[in-house]
């Protein structure tokens, strides 16, 4: 049962990392254009940060708890 949950988390991580890369590419492409839409870039950066935070939470959930 736990391996199934781990697989779901790993699949979600994979999709989030892909989304993070896509957002990075999209932001870079927008910034390269003259007169780019700063509000759109700001929104994309905010989404990218939220995705990064979600990735960190999921990665932490995969680590075993260490009782010291």
**Positive or negative CA dihedral for 42, 46, 51, 56?**
positive
Cα 26 to Cα 67: distance, rounded to the nearest angstrom: 42
Global pTM value: 0.84
Whether residue 67 is contained in a domain is answered as no
Predicted local confidence at residue 68, as pLDDT: 62
Tell me whether residue 68 is in a domain: no
Q: pLDDT tier at 63 (50, 70, 90 boundaries)? A: confident
Q: How many domains does the chain have?
A: 1
DSSP state of 64: P
pLDDT digits (tens, 9 = 90+) for 9-51: 999 999 999 999 999 999 999 999 999 999 999 999 999 999 9
- Asked whether residue 44 is assigned to any structural domain, the reply reads yes
Asked if residue 27 belongs to a domain, the reply is yes
20 in a structural domain? yes
Q: Are 55 and 17 in contact (CB under 8 A)?
A: yes
Domain encompassing residue 50: 2-62
20 close to 59: Cβ distance less than 8 angstroms: no
């Amino acid at each position: 049962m736990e391996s199934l949950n781990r697989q779901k988390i790993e699949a979600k991580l994979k999709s989030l990392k892909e989304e993070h890369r896509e957002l990075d590419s999209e932001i870079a492409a927008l910034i390269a254009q003259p007169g780019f839409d700063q509000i759109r870039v700001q929104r994309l950066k905010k989404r990218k940060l939220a995705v990064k935070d979600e990735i960190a939470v999921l990665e932490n959930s995969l680590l075993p708890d260490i009782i010291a």
